[in-house]
Amino acid sequence: MKDVQSQPDHRNIAIDKVGVKNIRHPVTVLDRANGTQQTVANINMYVDLPHLYKGTHMSRFIEVLSEHSNNINLRNIPGILEEMKKRLDAACAHIEVEFPYFIKKAAPVSSAQGLMEYNVAFRGSVNGEGLDLVVEMRVPVTTLCPCSREISEHGAHNQRGMVKLAVRFKRFFWIEDLIQLVEESASSDVFSLLKREDEKYVTERAYEHPMFVEDVVREVARKLEDDPNIVWFSVDSENFESIHNHSAYAFIERDKRSAQA
Amino acid sequence: MKDVQSQPDHRNIAIDKVGVKNIRHPVTVLDRANGTQQTVANINMYVDLPHLYKGTHMSRFIEVLSEHSNNINLRNIPGILEEMKKRLDAACAHIEVEFPYFIKKAAPVSSAQGLMEYNVAFRGSVNGEGLDLVVEMRVPVTTLCPCSREISEHGAHNQRGMVKLAVRFKRFFWIEDLIQLVEESASSDVFSLLKREDEKYVTERAYEHPMFVEDVVREVARKLEDDPNIVWFSVDSENFESIHNHSAYAFIERDKRSAQA
Amino acid sequence: MKDVQSQPDHRNIAIDKVGVKNIRHPVTVLDRANGTQQTVANINMYVDLPHLYKGTHMSRFIEVLSEHSNNINLRNIPGILEEMKKRLDAACAHIEVEFPYFIKKAAPVSSAQGLMEYNVAFRGSVNGEGLDLVVEMRVPVTTLCPCSREISEHGAHNQRGMVKLAVRFKRFFWIEDLIQLVEESASSDVFSLLKREDEKYVTERAYEHPMFVEDVVREVARKLEDDPNIVWFSVDSENFESIHNHSAYAFIERDKRSAQA
Amino acid sequence: MKDVQSQPDHRNIAIDKVGVKNIRHPVTVLDRANGTQQTVANINMYVDLPHLYKGTHMSRFIEVLSEHSNNINLRNIPGILEEMKKRLDAACAHIEVEFPYFIKKAAPVSSAQGLMEYNVAFRGSVNGEGLDLVVEMRVPVTTLCPCSREISEHGAHNQRGMVKLAVRFKRFFWIEDLIQLVEESASSDVFSLLKREDEKYVTERAYEHPMFVEDVVREVARKLEDDPNIVWFSVDSENFESIHNHSAYAFIERDKRSAQA
C-alpha cells in the first residue's frame, strides 16, 4: 500500500508541531509517600515535520505512549522525547501529560485523613538547543479578603481560589513540596475531610491571615525567588469571588536565568 | 435524487426524539426593563419518528429556527413547537433554548450599576397529551456557613453558590421576579460592581444571614409553595465550598398538581 | 461545640437530596480481562433529610467513600448505600460514580493493540421502595451517512459519534459486553491505534455499513429488547457532523417492565 | 473607610497582571454585512501593579467595561487600554474579549441561507514598548484523509476539524476575509443548513480535495506568508478523527518581522 505520508510536499513549509492530541490513558507516576501512584492522564504528543514530507505517522505516537505509560516521571521524560524523535525521524519532540494527583492529608486538629486532588502537568520539549521541562500544578486554596475584613463590623468575604504554579528547575524535586509551599501562601489550605473542630480552626486561621490574590502570588514568588533549584516560574491565582459572579486574578512570571546574566 | 430518509424502515422501532443538538444562534428574548434583549442561545430541537420511516429531515429544524430566532419567549414557544410538528410531519416536538440573560443591578449602598448574568433555559414539548413548558434559571448567590459562624471566634467561611430553579406554571411570568426570589433566599446576593461601602454591606449582611445549602433550597421551596402560579418546581443549590475542593449540594422537587389530587 | 446541623428546623420542609458533589477520588473497579482496574472517578453522594433537622453532616460522606473506594462495583453499591443511610441516619441514599474505563483492543487487521477509553457511570439509589441501579456508558463510534453515500458520485460524509447507553437489569453483567453491542451497532467502531491496513479496513467497513443516528439507536434498541437481563434502557446517539457545526441526535427509551404488565 | 488596597507593600515584588477574569457581558462588535452585531463576550482585564502597592481596585475594571461594551472593535481597543491605564494608574494594561460571531452563509448549490458561528477573540496589551494586538478566530472545517482515500476501495474517512488562526497585522481588516481564507484551505467548509443537492456537493468536494491536518495549516500558512498586512501568525488545526477517540493536530507559527530583519 502506498505510504502517502512519506510522499514529498512542494510547498516548502516546515511544520512546527504535528501529532496526536487529547489522548486519555492510564499512567503510573512517582508518589513520595507510596512509591508510585496510578492515575489517568490527558496527553498530547508532537514532533516537527521538515518541509519536504507530506505527513507524519500518527500511530507511532500511540506505540511510544503504550510502552512508557507505566512509568511517567521527571527523570524519564527526556528518554521518551528522544524515542519520539527516533521513531518519527524528527529533530524536535514535545509531550504534555496532565493528570489528577492525590495526596493523603490530615485535618489540622482531628487529624482525620482524606485524599486531596491536585492537577499536575509535565510539559517537555527537545530540540536542537536541548531539553526544556516545565512542571505545572494547580492547588486549591482559601482566600479571605483583607479589605472586607478591615471595613466590616464582623466577618469577611472569603472563597475558594485556584493557584497555578509552573516551574523550570535544575534538579529533580517532589511536587509534594511545591504544593505545600503554595498551600502555606494562602489564607488557609483546603481539605477534603474536616470535622467540627477542624472547621473552627480553618475558619479562624483564614480570618487571621487575610490575603488578596495579589498577596498569594507575591508570597509564592517571594519563596521561589529564594529557592536555588528553581530557575524560572510563573504563578497565577484566581479567586472565585463569593460576592461576584466573576474572578479576581493575579499573575507573576520571573526568569532568574536572564536576571543572573 | 433519492430521498433516503423517507424510505421505509422494517425494524418496527419508533424513535422518541430525533433532531439537531448544540446549535448556537443569536436570539431575541423578552426583557422587562427594555422590551427585548439580544443574546446568544444554545439550542436543541427534536421530533418523534414513527417506526415506518428511516430518517428525519434535519435541515427543516434549522429553517424553523431561522424564522423564529428574532422572537423567542414563553408565549410563542407553543407556536414554534406546532410548526416543528407540521414541517417534520411529527406527533411530538421538543425544543430547548438556553441563553445568558443580563439584568442591570444597582449596588446596595452606592447604587453603582452593573450587569449581572443569569443563565436561563426554556424547555418545551408537545405531544398527544398537550403542552409541557419548563423555565429554568441559574442564579449565583453568596452562602455563609451557620456552623462555621457558631463555632468560630471570628469570621465564618462563605462562598459562591449556584442555585438552579426550574418551574412549571399557569400563566406568563417575568423571570426577573423568580431571580429576585432566589436572590433573597441566600446569605447575600451577588453583584458585578461593588464599591467599598457596598462590600462592607454585603459582608455584614451575609454574616447576619448564615445559611446552609439546605436553608437556601428550603427558603426557595417555602416561597414557591405559596405561589399559586407555580404548579411544579425543582430547586437545587450547589456551594463551591471555600474550605473544600468539592461542593455541598441540596435538592427539593415538589409537584403541587399531584399533591392537590 | 454546638452541633448546628442537628438543631430543629421549623419550616416543615423535607429535603429530597443533600450531600457532596463533584468529589474526585481514585477508585478500583472490576475488569473482566484483568480482575480489577484502577481509575479516577467523579462522585456525588446524597441522602434525604427529614423536615425536622436543620442540616446533614457532610464529612460522613467522605468517610464512607474513603472506606469503599478500593472496591466499587455493581455488587457492592447496595452495601455502600445502606452504610450511607446508617451513618447519616437517613431513609434514602443516592450515589453516582463516573469514571473513564480502559479496555485493550486489537486493530482489526494488524491486531496491533491499543487502550480504548469509555466513560462509565454507576447511579444507585435506595429508598423505602427498594434499590434502583442504573449503569451508563458512553461509547465512541463512526457513522457514515446513508443519504450522502446514495446521492454522491464518490465518498460519503462520516464522523465520530458518541452513543450513551443506560440500562436497568436483573443480574450482574460485564460492561465489556454492552460496549461491544454498541460498537457493533454503528458504521464502524473506533480504535486508538490503527496501522495502514487497518485504516483501509475501517474506511471500507464504514462505507459498506452506512447508518444515520436513527439507525444506531434502533440497532441498539433492537438488540436490547431481545436481552432478557435488561428490564429498562435508554440510548442516545450524537453525531458530531463533519459537514455541520452542530450535532445530529436520536434517542429511544423503553421500559420493558411496564410493557409486560 | 480605610483604602486597604492603596497601602504600601514591603515585599518589593511587582505584579505582572492583576484584574478581573471571566466576566460575561453583552458587547456590540463590527459586522461587515450589517454594520454592527450584538453578541455576548467573555472578558478578562488586567493591569500591572508596582511593587509598592498592596492591591488594585477591581471595581474600576467593570466601570471601564460598562462604558465601552457597546462598541468593541480593533480600532478602539487601544483607547480602552489607555483608559484602563489611566483609571487604574498603571503602566501596562491587557484586555481579552472572546465572543461568538455569526455570519450569514449560503449553501453551495441551493443558496439556502443559514447562520454560521465562529469564535473570535481580540487580545490587546499596552506597555512601555507600545501596543500589541492579536486577533484570533476558530473556524470549523471538514477534512478528508488522503491516506484513507488512497488505500481504500471506496470512501475515505472524514471529520469535523477546528482551525485556530491568530494574527498580528498592520492595518484594520475584516475577520470575514480571514475566515474565508481558512475555509478555502480545507477539504470543504462547513454549513449550518444544507439541502440534499448541497450535501451531494460538499461530499464530492471533500472527496476531491483530501487533506491532512498538515495540509490545512500549510495552505493557511502559504496564503498568509503572501499577505503583506499580516506580520505574524500562528495556525493550528485539530481533527476530531472519525476513526479514533483522540485528535490529530498540526501547528505552524511564523514571525515575518524577525524574518525581515
Q: What is the mean pLDDT of residues C153-169?
A: 97
Residue D259: pLDDT band (50, 70, 90) is low
Which residue is listed with cell 462495583?
C73
Query: Looking at the structure, do residues D126 and D240 belong to the same domain, yes or no?
Result: yes
For residue B158, what pLDDT is reported?
97
Interchain contact, B16 vs C44, CB within 8 Å: no
- Which of B158, B190, B246 has its CB closest to that of A158? B158
In this structure, what C-alpha cell is assigned to residue D51? 511593587
Q: How far apart are CA C105 and CA C114, in angstroms?
A: 6
Which residue is listed with cell 423535607?
C14
For residue C152, what pLDDT is reported?
97
List CB contacts (< 8 A) between B205 and chain A.
Answer: none
Assigned domain for B102 exists: no
Instruction: Tell me if D186 sits within 8 A of D163, measured CB to CB.
Output: yes
Q: Is A162 on the interface with D (CB under 8 A)?
A: no
Residue C52: pLDDT band (50, 70, 90) is confident
Which range of residues forms the domain containing residue A188? 107-261
3-state secondary structure labels for all residues of A147-208: HHHHHCCCCCCEEEEEEEEEEEECCCCCHHHHHHHHHCCCCEECCCCCCHHHHHHHHHHHHH
Q: Is C197 on the interface with A (CB under 8 A)?
A: yes
Q: What is the mean pLDDT of residues B80-87?
A: 96
Of all residues in chain D, what percent carry a pLDDT higher than 70?
Answer: 99
Q: What is the mean pLDDT of residues C211-238?
A: 97
Query: Looking at the structure, do residues B133 and B91 belong to the same domain, yes or no?
Result: no
**What tens digit of pLDDT does each residue of A231-257 get?**
999 999 999 999 999 999 999 999 999
- For residue A73, the Cα-to-chain-centroid distance in whole angstroms is 13
Q: Is A240 on the interface with B (CB under 8 A)?
A: yes
Q: How far apart are CA B47 and CA B18, in angstroms?
A: 5
Q: Give the distance from residue D35's alpha carbon to the nearest chain A alpha carbon, in angstroms.
A: 30
Q: What is the mean pLDDT of residues A161-169?
A: 98
Q: How far apart are CA D160 and CA D116, in angstroms?
A: 14
Q: How far apart are CA C235 and CA C220, in angstroms?
A: 7
For residue C259, what pLDDT is reported?
61
In this structure, what C-alpha cell is assigned to residue C54? 436543620
Q: How far apart are CA B199 and CA A34, in angstroms?
A: 46
**What tens digit of pLDDT does each residue of D154-201 get?**
999 999 999 999 999 999 999 999 999 999 999 999 999 999 999 999
- Which of D192, D202, D245 has its CB closest to that of C117? D245
List CB contacts (< 8 A) between D142 and chain C.
Answer: 157, 242-243
Residue A51 pLDDT exceeds 50? yes
Long-range Cβ contacts of B101-105 (<8 Å, 24+ apart)? B101/B29, B101/B37, B101/B39, B101/B137, B101/B175, B102/B37, B102/B39, B102/D25, B102/D26, B103/B33, B103/B176, B103/B179, B104/B33, B105/B191, B105/B192
In this structure, what C-alpha cell is assigned to residue B205? 449582611
For residue D261, what pLDDT is reported?
43
List CB contacts (< 8 A) between D1 and chain B.
Answer: 196-197, 200
**What tens digit of pLDDT does each residue of B96-115 get?**
999 999 999 999 999 999 99
Q: What angle do CA A22, A239, C40 make, to 5 degrees?
A: 35
Query: Looking at the structure, do residues A177 and A235 belong to the same domain, yes or no?
Result: yes
Q: What does A62-88 look like in DSSP terms, one character per residue?
A: HHHHHHHTT---TTTHHHHHHHHHHHH
List CB contacts (< 8 A) between D246 and chain A.
Answer: 20-24
In this structure, what C-alpha cell is assigned to residue D139? 473556524
- Establish, for the pair of chains A and D, how many residue pairs have beta carbons separated by less than 8 Å: 138
Q: How far apart are CA D57 and CA B222, in angstroms?
A: 39
Q: Is A5 on the interface with D (CB under 8 A)?
A: yes
In this structure, what C-alpha cell is assigned to residue D17? 497582571
Residue in chain D nearest A53 by alpha carbon:
D214
Burial class (CB in 10 A: 0-12, 13-18, 19+), A150: middle
Q: How far apart are CA A81 and CA A98, in angstroms?
A: 16
Residue in chain B nearest C55 by alpha carbon:
B214
Query: Looking at the structure, do residues A232 and A124 belong to the same domain, yes or no?
Result: yes
For residue A261, what pLDDT is reported?
43
For residue B259, what pLDDT is reported?
61
- Which of B20, B150, B221 has its CB closest to that of C249? B20
Interchain contact, B158 vs A159, CB within 8 Å: yes
* Cβ atoms < 10 Å from Cβ of A131: 12
ipTM confidence score:
0.94
For residue D258, what pLDDT is reported?
76
Per the DSSP assignment, residues forming a β-bridge with A53 are: A8
Q: How far apart are CA D41 and CA D68, in angstroms?
A: 13
Contacts of C50 (CB under 8 A, 6+ apart): C14, C91
**What tens digit of pLDDT does each residue of D44-98 get?**
999 999 888 899 999 999 999 999 998 898 889 999 999 999 999 999 999 999 9
Residue D128: pLDDT band (50, 70, 90) is confident
Assigned domain for A102 exists: no
Residue C93: pLDDT band (50, 70, 90) is very high
Which residue is listed with cell 428550603?
B218
Question: Among D118, D259, D131, D89, which residue's Cα sits nearest to residue D192?
Answer: D118
Residue A151 pLDDT exceeds 70? yes
Q: What does C156-204 look like in DSSP terms, one character per residue?
A: --EEEEEEEEEEEESS---HHHHHHHHHTTSSEE--S---HHHHHHHHH
Q: How far apart are CA B74 and CA B95, in angstroms?
A: 12
Q: What angle do CA C187, C189, C190 make, to 5 degrees?
A: 130
Query: Looking at the structure, do residues B86 and B181 belong to the same domain, yes or no?
Result: no
Of all residues in chain A, what percent carry a pLDDT higher than 70?
Answer: 99
Domain boundary among C47, C71, C97: C97
D77 phi and psi angles, rounded to 5 deg: -60, -40
Interchain contact, B115 vs D25, CB within 8 Å: yes
Instruction: Tell me if A156 sits within 8 A of B203, measured CB to CB.
Output: yes
In this structure, what C-alpha cell is assigned to residue A116? 486531596
For residue B261, what pLDDT is reported?
43
Q: Is D2 on the interface with C (CB under 8 A)?
A: no
Q: Is A179 on the interface with B (CB under 8 A)?
A: no
List CB contacts (< 8 A) between B195 and chain A.
Answer: none
For residue D99, what pLDDT is reported?
98
Please report, for residues C9, C16, C28, the alpha-carbon distance to residue C51 in angstroms, rounded to integers and kept in the order given.
7, 10, 36
Q: What is the mean pLDDT of residues B168-193?
A: 97
Comparison of pLDDT for C242 and B259, the residue scoring more: C242
Interchain contact, B59 vs D193, CB within 8 Å: yes
Residue A259 pLDDT exceeds 50? yes
List CB contacts (< 8 A) between B2 and chain C.
Answer: 150-151
For residue B52, what pLDDT is reported?
87
Q: What is the mean pLDDT of chain B?
A: 95
**What tens digit of pLDDT does each residue of D136-150 get?**
999 999 999 999 999
Residue B260 pLDDT exceeds 80? no
Question: Among B198, D119, B55, which residue's Cα sits nearest to residue C249?
Answer: B55
Query: Looking at the structure, do residues D77 and D125 belong to the same domain, yes or no?
Result: no
**B197 in helix, strand or coil?**
helix
Domain boundary among C75, C97, C119: C97
Q: Is A66 on the interface with D (CB under 8 A)?
A: no
Q: How many domains does chain D have?
A: 2
Query: Looking at the structure, do residues B28 and B153 belong to the same domain, yes or no?
Result: no
Query: Looking at the structure, do residues A59 and A131 belong to the same domain, yes or no?
Result: no
Q: Is C196 on the interface with A (CB under 8 A)?
A: yes
For residue D74, what pLDDT is reported?
87
Query: Looking at the structure, do residues A63 and A124 belong to the same domain, yes or no?
Result: no
Q: How far apart are CA B125 and CA A176, in angstroms?
A: 52
Query: Looking at the structure, do residues A150 and A240 belong to the same domain, yes or no?
Result: yes
For residue B10, what pLDDT is reported?
87
Assigned domain for D102 exists: no
List CB contacts (< 8 A) between B58 and chain C.
Answer: 248
Query: Looking at the structure, do residues B139 and B258 belong to the same domain, yes or no?
Result: yes
Interchain contact, B159 vs A160, CB within 8 Å: yes
Sign of CA pseudo-dihedral C1, C6, C7, C11: positive
Question: Among A16, C246, B231, which residue's Cα sits nearest to residue D191?
Answer: C246
Of all residues in chain A, what percent carry a pLDDT higher than 90?
Answer: 90
Query: Looking at the structure, do residues A64 and A134 belong to the same domain, yes or no?
Result: no
Q: Give the distance from residue B45's alpha carbon to the nearest chain D alpha carbon, in angstroms.
A: 14
According to DSSP, residue D154 is labeled S
**What tens digit of pLDDT does each residue of B31-73 get?**
999 999 999 999 999 999 988 889 999 999 999 999 999 889 8
Domain boundary among D97, D124, D149: D97
- Residue A107: what residue type? A
In this structure, what C-alpha cell is assigned to residue D140? 470549523
Instruction: Tell me if A249 sits within 8 A of D17, measured CB to CB.
Output: yes
The CATH code of the domain that includes D243 is: 3.10.270.10
